[in-house]
Amino acid sequence: MIVSSRVYRPGCAGEEVGVDDISEVIKEPEAFIWLGLWQPDAEFMAKIKEEFGLHELAVEDALNAHQRPKIEHYGESLFIVVKTVCVKDNNCEMGETHFFVGKNFLISIRHGASESYTPVRKQASENPALLKYGPAYPLYCLLDFIVDRYAELSTSLNERVGQMENELFTSEFDRQSVQQVYTMRRHLLTLRNAALPLEEICNQLIHLHEDLIPRPLRAYIRDVQDHARHVVTDAEDMREMLTSAMQVNLALVTVQQNEVVKKLAGWGAILVIPTVVFSMYGMNFEHMPELKSLYGYPLAVGLTLVACGGLWARLRRSGWL
């Protein structure tokens, strides 16, 4: 359950610290602890609660992997929930990361689909000038890492959306393409719902909680907010583009069907003429053309062909055939 447990002091890139020693180390005024956890159980979280003095409601939420993205203030610490995204086999899987942020500690708890935060810890350790501001800097690094995964997924989906658009701009109805568009719209909605609350979380971190988020780091949080806003805008634009492409596809299919109906109606009108003429020969007329007149039969056939040809030419000029 413990991925990493390190203490950061001025001039120190981070040292391992045991969970049992946290309550003593956390008393140092210039040190802070960064604890990374993976799906901890209730017994372990109860111990963490005592070591860091966490609120019981926040700990209860941290054990539940189905929280909505949010930021809540409990005493002298913040509890933050953000969604994480991970693409596996062309499926967008969702996970969560919960944060406890205090003046001298940062606890990150991963649930479900999520990439390792080891590169983030390495990045933060290599920047002592910002580490001196305490746990707010690694919090920024984690939020920036999560939003970058949003942006990478958005870029990948954008390429697939372009391919889907090309497939939809045809006059043929393809059920599989429509199903793919529906799945893509669902992925985009999932991405939007993950990135949108992060804007409000960053907004609160920028304008509130100055005791936990120093003013020099607020520009960095604002950058994360801007990236999240871009992801939301891109996801909404792509969903709108797919909706428009589906409507265009349905319109093209409808036009093609109308063309077929017009052709069938035109040929049906042409066939009505010989049908009407030749159906009269089944009646018991006394003066039938082929019996009373030498040229009656050829004349009837010729007039029928002329009428059919004239109607065909007229329909051809009008675009029906």
Alpha-carbon gap, residue 213 to 73, rounded angstroms = 13
Fold exhibited by the domain 2-251: Beta Polymerase; domain 2 (3.30.460)
Q: What is the pLDDT of residues 12-25, one digit of tens each?
A: 767 777 777 777 77
Region 213-226: mean pLDDT is 90
Residue 217 pLDDT exceeds 60: yes
pLDDT tier, 186 (very low <50, low <70, confident <90, very high otherwise): confident
Quote the pLDDT of residue 237.
87
Could you give the CA distance from residue 61 to residue 35 in angstroms, rounded to a whole number?
Answer: 18
Residue 196: which of 232, 142, 245 has the closest Cα? 232
- Residues of the chain above pLDDT 70, percent: 87
Cα separation, 63 vs 60, in Å, equals 5
Distances (CA, A) of 25 to 7, 15, 73, 130, 227: 8, 11, 24, 21, 35
Q: Is the pTM of this model over 0.85?
A: no
Mean pLDDT, rounded, for 221-230: 91
Residue with tokens 């393809």: 174
Calculate the average pLDDT of the chain: 80
Share of the chain above pLDDT 90, in %: 8
- Every domain of the chain with CATH number 1.20.58 lies at 257-318
**Counting every residue, how long is the chain?**
321
Q: What is the C-alpha separation between 34 and 176, in angstroms, rounded? A: 48
Instruction: Find the helix packing angle between 218-279 and 175-207, rounded to 10°.
Output: 160
- The pLDDT, as a whole number, for residue 289 is 56
pLDDT band at 229 (very low <50, low <70, confident <90, very high): very high
Could you tell me which residues are beta bridge partners of residue 86?
93
Within 10 Å of residue 265's Cβ, how many Cβ atoms? 13
Each residue of 57-116: pLDDT tens digit? 888 888 887 788 889 888 888 999 999 887 766 667 788 899 999 888 899 988 887 778
CATH number of 257-318: 1.20.58
Which tokens in the block code for residue 181? 């568009």
Does residue 165 register a pLDDT over 60? yes
The answer to whether the beta carbons of residues 2 and 45 sit under 8 Å apart is: no
Residue 256 pLDDT > 80, yes or no? no
Distance CA 7, CA 25 (A): 8
- 114-137 pLDDT, tens per residue? 778 888 888 888 888 888 888 888
Q: What is the per-residue pLDDT across 261-285, written as a single tens digit (0 to 9) for each?
A: 777 777 777 777 777 776 766 655 5
Q: Please state, in angstroms and rounded to a whole number, the distance separating the CA atoms of residues 148 and 227.
A: 8
**Residue 90 confidence (pLDDT):** 63
Question: Helix, strand, or coil here: 294?
Answer: coil
Measure CA 208 to chain center. 30
**SS3 of residue 14 by DSSP:** coil
**In the prediction, which pLDDT does 292 show?**
61
Cα–Cα distances in Å, from 158 out to 38, 119, 162, 187, 280?
31, 26, 6, 11, 66
Once rounded to an integer, what is the mean pLDDT over residues 192-206? 89
Measured torsion, CA atoms of residues 142, 25, 111, 124, in degrees rounded to the nearest 10: 20
Check if the beta carbon of residue 222 is closer than 8 Å to that of residue 203. no
Cα gap 182→149, rounded to integer Å: 22
Whether 54 contacts 33, CB under 8 Å: no
How does residue 226 score in pLDDT terms, banded at 50, 70 and 90?
A: very high
Range(s) of the chain covered by CATH 3.30.460.20: 2-251
